[in-house]
Amino acid sequence: MPQDFTMPSPSILTLLSLLMVTEVSSVSKTNCSYTHLMEHLNLLDTNQVLADVRPVVNWTSPTGVKMDLYVYGILDVDEKSQTLTCQAWSNTGWLNEFLSWNESDFCGIDKLTVPRKKLWAPDISIQEDTDSITKGPYASLYSNGIVTVMDSLRLKTACNMDLYKFPFDAQTCQMTVTSLSHCEAAMMIDRWSTSEYLNQFSRQVLNNKGEWSLVSINTTKEKSIYQKRSWDKLIFKITIKRSPMLYVGNFLIPLLYFLVLDLASFFINQTRGEKLSFKITILLSISVLLLIFNDILPSTANKLPLIATYCIVVFTLVGLNLLVTMLVGFLMDLERKEGWDLQTHASVQSSPPENEAEKGVPTEASPEQKAPGGGTQGLSDSRLLQLALEEVWRIRLEVVSAVGAGDHRKTGYWERVAKRIDTVYFCIYIIFTIVFHGFLFITWIQ
């Protein structure tokens, strides 16, 4: 006979049914897909309200927006137009009070990537000229309601450059971030990360090592008043420094060499014609460097750069040296001319003229000149005239000798004056050059 089947008690059946229902219910509620989360947040379909309206429960509550700016490329610095072109990333975040969830209800999902066009985004922009912006197509949504977006920027901003210490200069350019339609009561803008983190991250991702290097990125917050409302402004100050070796090797050192050659030209003999032509060649070479330098610096500089002052001083020194050389050459030529005239005058005076007594005075008295009674009065008069002429000739020779001796004492006067002028100017040249270069060095390294 078959054995009897014992039916379970009603209490046990009820317990088993409750366990099965609980298990089925928990399985049906456990959904670890992003779709379930987006359905819970009402993001599956286009929700125009989430995209257009500022996401706050109370309209009087301002939306806090935080932003960071990372520079990863310095493309161009134009001193003429005073503009900075760089590549940067902007990381912006804000709180959406309607989009938050409990991570434990959705298998620990703490981050969701959604299309950017589905969410409201703050209308913040950079006031300076923006060349192009590549906006990321997606936004990152976190479980606490924080929304972040990342944009790639190619910025060409106006920058007021101070070129006083060119090429040993550092420039600071600022980028101002503000909202176009939301004042401080509706939107508060602030930095996200510290300046130390911005600098460290920017140096790590900087991909070009050209003429300019990144020094620092500092952020400050300011407020502006427009139409009796306060507007938040976040200012990023980017400091960059120039690498001066290219300008030192191609401009400053050649200019210094020309100055040394100009100093060395003092030792060229003045009597030869090479000294003047050599100085003219140096002056023309410096003029060529100045033409090249004119294409670098902007014409709108507020104050004259030190390197321009250096060029002007060197050009002036070489020009004055050329004038002094011409003056010394003129004095030397004057000395040679006077020496030649003195030599010619002495040679003419050393040859006595013919005896005027022999030519113009008779030695014997003629019969008509004899006095009546056989006297010799006419002969005595001719003898006296001859003696007078001889005395005049003697006095003339003494005067000529005295004048010749005085001219001899004056020989070499202009030559000594020329040498003194050349020596004094050389000393002044050396002292001024040393002092001026010391001043430039101290000013440049400060």
Residues 224 and 294 in one domain: no
Residues 207 and 231 in one domain: yes
Residues 292 and 410 in one domain: yes
Kindly report, residue by residue over 170-189, the tens digit of the pLDDT.
999 988 898 888 888 889 99
Q: Which of 213, 243, 273 is the last residue of a domain?
A: 243
The verdict on residue 193 lying in a domain is yes
pTM of the entire predicted model: 0.68
- Please, which residues have CB within 8 angstroms of residue 368's CB and are 6 or more apart in sequence? none
Q: Which of 243, 269, 301 is the last residue of a domain?
A: 243
The verdict on residue 15 lying in a domain is no
The verdict on residue 151 lying in a domain is yes
Residues 179 and 304 in one domain: no
Residues 230 and 250 in one domain: no
Using the structure block, give the residue that is written with the tokens 């001319």: 337
Q: Find residue 148's DSSP bridge partners.
A: 93, 140
Q: Which domain holds residue 446?
A: 245-359+384-446
Q: Which of 211, 228, 243 is the last residue of a domain?
A: 243
CA distance 373 to 371: 6
Provide mean pLDDT across the span 312-323.
89
Q: Residue 4 — very low, low, confident or very high, per pLDDT cuts 50/70/90?
A: very low
Q: Find residue 78's DSSP bridge partners.
A: 83
Residue 375 DSSP one-character state: B
Residue of 50, 198, 76 whose CA lies nearest to 131? 76
Kindly report, residue by residue over 102-120, the tens digit of the pLDDT.
988 888 889 999 888 888 9
Using the structure block, give the residue that is written with the tokens 């003629």: 366
Which residue has better confidence, 106 or 14?
106
Residues 121 and 213 in one domain: yes
Report the interhelical angle of 253-264 vs 306-349 (nearest 10°).
20
Residues 162 and 190 in one domain: yes
The verdict on residue 125 lying in a domain is yes
Kindly report, residue by residue over 191-248, the tens digit of the pLDDT.
888 888 888 888 888 877 678 889 999 999 988 888 788 888 999 999 999 988 888 8
Alpha helices in 377-412 (DSSP H): 377-410
Residues 222 and 261 in one domain: no
The verdict on residue 373 lying in a domain is no
- Please, which residues have CB within 8 angstroms of residue 228's CB and are 6 or more apart in sequence? none
The verdict on residue 2 lying in a domain is no
* Number of separate domains in the chain: 2
**CATH number for position 142:** 2.70.170.10
CA distance 251 to 256: 9
The verdict on residue 168 lying in a domain is yes
| pLDDT at res. 330 | 83
Query: Looking at the predicted structure, is the pLDDT value of residue 382 above 70?
Result: yes
Residues 235 and 315 in one domain: no
The verdict on residue 403 lying in a domain is yes
Query: Looking at the predicted structure, is the pLDDT value of residue 49 above 80?
Result: no
Residues 238 and 263 in one domain: no
Residues 128 and 210 in one domain: yes
Residues 166 and 249 in one domain: no
